[in-house]
Amino acid sequence: MLDIKFIRDNLDTVAAALAKKKFELDVASFQQMDETRKSALTRAQSLQAEKKKASKQIGMLIGQGMSPDEAKAQVMGGIDSDITVAEQEARDAENALRTYLLSVPNLPHADVPEGKSEDDNREVLKWGTPREFSFAPKDHVDVAEPLGMSFDAGARVAGSRFVALSGQIARMHRALTQFMLDTHTLEHGYEETYVPYLVNRDALEGTGQLPKFEEDLFRIPQAQGDKDLFLIPTAEVPVTNLLRDAVYDGALPLKKVAHTPCFRSEAGSYGRDTRGMIRQHQFDKVELVQFVAAGTSEAALEELTGHAEAILQKLGLPYRKVVLCGGDLGFSAAKTYDLEVWLPGQQKYREISSCSNFLDYQARRMQARWRNPETGKPELLHTLNGSGLAVGRTLVAILENYQQEDGSVVVPEVLRPYMGGLEVIGA
């Protein structure tokens, strides 16, 4: 959530920045709600002051022989009921303004390029050279179905956009997860973290998925009037919320990594990537999350993105790095790098990781703070996260980039210790 004082003092600047994200700030509505809130608070405070003044008069009247009830009735009148009404109006106005602010996205960083869609994202780096095949490369579906990948089985069990993996394909999927976790914990300094796969509405509101993106979530109604829970769309939600409504007293940066399944309804994506594992309702991801002090998050974004890149480089997968334009930038993000891996079966680069800096936007929604040792006072944290990497899409990239003409797939060298020394699958 944006700082209301900053919006109030910089309305034109905020409106112009949000326009870069293709969001129109309703300045008139904001000003009206803000004025209603201030007027309601002023009235409630004024009535409280009147009540305090009247209390002194009651004492004087009692001293002159009047009964307490008579004195109170004469002086107070209906002031208590007026205060109740005024305070409720103030709460309603405060809630209305907060609800509006929850719908306002984060401001884009100054160096985020202009643009309307992913076509306007700017390439900043390209790593590796796509392999030249002596045969026509297949896409991952044709490569993997003979090796244990079944979309028919997934559909029988759950429906479309689900997959079942068996045998060596399932083992490679697990090996990728273990390899990523080991790399990030042993080489990059992250603390491995296990979190719930179900979260409450407050958690999703804290990281910015709610209220705007509820249709993208799987909601689990609870019995006996309990509040509904939601399947996590990414480990970002539970991991970042570990510091919600808390003041962290430890050293920064605080770096956490978690492997979880992720669940997305893919609302609005009908007809897109219906073949294969690119866009599934359920997929696994190794997520990187950092909590840092204000003023250090720009450098932290470069570092975190580099950690995701290291996985691709160790696996020998060609990729490119792009900075998202304003029109493609996520709701809560101030700046995002996408890593796009080369898929020879599609002859194009496809997203495999998204790494974002949220500044204090999420922390303000969650009231996630740390105690600055120099001042001893709590300050809002800056939060960052990124995929390190999406496991299913990494499996797809290996199947396509390491496929052989006989239908087998070479196991990348760094994965072989996690697969019992196996060098080829499907041989």
Residue 408 labelled as part of a binding site? no
Q: What percent of the chain has pLDDT over 90?
A: 84
CA gap 358, 107 in Å, rounded: 9
**pLDDT band (50, 70, 90) for residue 78:** low
Least confident residue range of 59-63, 187-191, 258-262: 59-63
Q: Tell me the pLDDT tens digit for each residue of 186-208.
A: 999 999 999 999 999 999 999 99
CB within 8 Å of 149: residues ≥ 6 apart: 140, 141, 163, 164, 165, 166, 169, 277
Distances (CA, A) of 108 to 3, 113, 138, 329, 421: 14, 9, 39, 8, 46
Residue 73, pLDDT > 70, answer no
**Contact of 340 with 319, CB cutoff 8 Å:** yes
Tokens for 54? 């009247």
In DSSP notation, 288-354 reads: EEEEE-TT-HHHHHHHHHHHHHHHHHHHT--EEEEEPPGGGS-SS-SEEEEEEEEETTTTEEEEEEE
Residue 129 labelled as part of a binding site? no
Q: Tell me, rounded to whole angstroms, the distance of Cα 156 from its chain centroid.
A: 31
Strands 424-425 and 378-380: unpaired
Strands 191-192 and 254-263: parallel
CA gap 5, 164 in Å, rounded: 51
Residue 39 labelled as part of a binding site? no
Nearest-10 crossing angle of helices 297-315, 167-186: 140
Residue 352 labelled as part of a binding site? yes
Q: Tell me, rounded to whole angstroms, the distance of Cα 116 from its chain centroid.
A: 21
379-407 as b/e, with b when 16 or more CB fall inside 10 Å? Answer: ebbbbbbbbbbbbbbbbbbbbbbbbeeee
Residue 287 labelled as part of a binding site? yes
Q: Which residues are catalytic?
A: 264, 279, 351, 354, 393
Strands 378-380 and 368-371: antiparallel
Tokens for 400? 């396509």
**Contact of 320 with 349, CB cutoff 8 Å:** yes
**Contact of 401 with 344, CB cutoff 8 Å:** yes
Residue 29 labelled as part of a binding site? no
Residue 97, pLDDT > 60, answer yes
81-98 as b/e, with b when 16 or more CB fall inside 10 Å? Answer: ebbeebbebbeebeeebe
Burial class (CB in 10 A: 0-12, 13-18, 19+), 110: exposed
Side chain identity at residue 202, one-letter code: D
Q: Tell me the pLDDT tens digit for each residue of 291-329.
A: 999 999 999 999 999 999 999 999 999 999 999 999 999
**pLDDT band (50, 70, 90) for residue 271:** low
What pTM value is reported for the model?
0.92
pLDDT of residue 334: 98
Residue 270, pLDDT > 90, answer no
